[in-house]
Amino acid sequence: MIRHDTLGHYVFSAPSKDSASPTRILYTKDFKDVYDCVDANSHHLHDCRRVLEVQGTVNQESCHLRITGISLGDGEERFSFNLKEDVKFMTSGKDYDPFKGVCSKETDLETWLEDMQNAAKDPFWHLPGYEEAVTSTIDFTFSHYAGRPGFDSGRRFVVRSADRTLISEGRTKPGGRFLIDADPEQNDWRATVVFDMDVTETNRPSVVWKSGIALSDAPDRHFIVGRLRRGRLQGPVRVFGQVTNDPNEDCAGELLSGELAFVGHYGDGRPEGYVWRGLKGGAWVHGKVNEEGELTGENIAYVYPDLRTALIGKFKRGIMVSQRKVSLRA
């Protein structure tokens, strides 16, 4: 299969004799420099290396290309490539930094949060997916939904790829648990996936998918963006659509559409390390989560919307217990 995009890239997809890598992806602009990659989705290529020579056969009737051998340069540095933006990101060699431009010391807090807030772009696109993204199920818990009306259990969602290809569907289980069957043979699981909570039931055939479910015609309001490893969230995760910090408040089931609600790192299906949780009104709670993935403990910050003033203190499940006022450095 061959596709040609508006930026001038020619992308070839062909079956391979190597059972460990059944599909080979080659891309080029000028047919002089050709690169061999792994196809993450329609926009992003990973583990790319320069090709010295390609051996293959072409079916004269169907024009299908079958690759029988590829010669790669020794010691070639590898990179990820963004076809949509024509951007290369080195993923090997002495200059490799997986968080370059995302979490660098040169990036100020306001600019970084603005970048994270942009739902149209994936700031972590260059990170390769996991080989074993799913086994037979997806199973993780988003604890911020636990006990929250309309979210805790029975909330319908679809799972889609970053380019909006629909992959699966389900409903949340008690405690904010996401548990659905998954086909590990689908390549879409290896790249960024989106758990889209803003879905409606409709009979319009132009947008209907399985079980009468469809993506909303309105801009995305509430969704989780991340990668999977063995069916659980792993690596950088962003959540859009803010709710109250306390699930017991009267308006706990209300949603602020599209606003960044969470950004942080997940390990084995739960938050780990330092995270940011966005609140209605533009404030943030920032700190290191405990072993349960909760913002519980000392030295957790409530950051005011001006990003200059904060309250540092003791929190329990993201709710302030005691505090002291501090100022943030620019």
Q: Hey, what's the torsion of the CAs at 128, 197, 276, 252, to 10 degrees? A: -170
54: its two tokens: 């390609």
Choice between 198 and 53, residue whose per-residue pLDDT is larger: 53
Quote the pLDDT of residue 263.
93
Quote the pLDDT of residue 277.
92
Q: What is the pLDDT of residues 225-272, one digit of tens each?
A: 999 999 999 999 999 888 777 777 777 667 666 789 999 999 999 999
Measured CA to CA, the distance from residue 80 to residue 97 in angstroms comes to: 12
The stretch 179-193 carries a mean pLDDT of 83
Choice between 213 and 149, residue whose per-residue pLDDT is larger: 149
Quote the pLDDT of residue 205.
36
State the sign of the Cα–Cα–Cα–Cα dihedral 293, 294, 298, 304: positive
Q: Are 316 and 296 in contact (CB under 8 A)?
A: yes
The pLDDT > 70 percentage for the chain reads: 72
Quote the pLDDT of residue 207.
42
Mapped onto helix, strand or coil, the DSSP state of residue 143 is helix
Mean per-residue pLDDT over the chain, rounded: 78
Q: Are 165 and 188 in contact (CB under 8 A)?
A: yes
Reported as a pLDDT band with limits 50, 70 and 90, residue 214 is very low
Reported as a pLDDT band with limits 50, 70 and 90, residue 213 is very low
State the sign of the Cα–Cα–Cα–Cα dihedral 230, 231, 232, 237: positive
The pLDDT > 90 percentage for the chain reads: 19
The stretch 36-52 carries a mean pLDDT of 80
Mapped onto helix, strand or coil, the DSSP state of residue 229 is strand
17-49 as b/e: b if 16+ CB within 10 A = eeeeeeebbbbeeeeeebbbbbbbbbbbbbbbb
Q: What is the pLDDT of residues 82-95, one digit of tens each?
A: 888 888 888 776 55
The stretch 135-150 carries a mean pLDDT of 84
pLDDT exceeds cutoff 50 at 218:
no
End-to-end CA distance of the chain: 51
Quote the pLDDT of residue 330.
53
- Pair type for strands 44-58 and 65-72: antiparallel
Q: How many whole angstroms from its chain centre is CA 181?
A: 19
